[in-house]
Amino acid sequence: MEKDGTDAMEERIAHLERALADVSDVVARQDREIAALTRRIEMLMQREAEREYASGGSVPVADRPPPHW
């Protein structure tokens, strides 16, 4: 039996909804990972700034402008 246009569209919509749910899950996971990595980078930058300051440095690394090259 051949599918009519409505059945084909419903099947396509079901596949698209599944794909959208999969992409949404990936994006949510990546958002959590990015947030965790951002916190870790901030912590490491703070530690490095404190280490630089404790060793007699005048300007913490995080507050220095980037090199001109």
Q: What is the pLDDT of residue 4?
A: 81
Q: What is the pLDDT of residues 3-61, one digit of tens each?
A: 688 999 999 999 999 999 999 999 999 999 999 999 999 999 999 888 888 888 666 55
3-state secondary structure the chain: CCCCHHHHHHHHHHHHHHHHHHHHHHHHHHHHHHHHHHHHHHHHHHHHHHHHHHCCCCCCHHHCCCCCC
Q: What is the pLDDT of residue 64?
A: 66
Q: Where are the domains of the chain?
A: 5-53
Per-residue pLDDT band at 68 (split at 50, 70, 90): confident
Q: What is the pLDDT of residue 17?
A: 98
pTM: 0.63
